[in-house]
Structure 1
Amino acid sequence: MHPDLSPHLHTDECNDITLEFMNCNVEHKFSRFFGRCDKVYDRMVHCFHLERKAKQLHNNENAIKRQDFVRQKILEEMRQDRERVL
Structure 2
Amino acid sequence: MKKLLTFLSFITLFSTFSYSQISQDLSYQSIVRYANGNLVVSTDVEVDLAITSNGATVYSESHTATTSKNGLVSLRLGSKNISAFSAIDWG
Q: TM-score range by the shorter chain?
A: 0.3 to 0.5
Q: Between Structure 1 and Structure 2, which shows a larger proportion of strand residues?
A: 2
Q: Between Structure 1 and Structure 2, which shows a larger proportion of helix residues?
A: 1
TM-score, structure 2 as length reference: 0.31
TM-score, structure 1 as length reference: 0.32
Rg larger in structure: 1
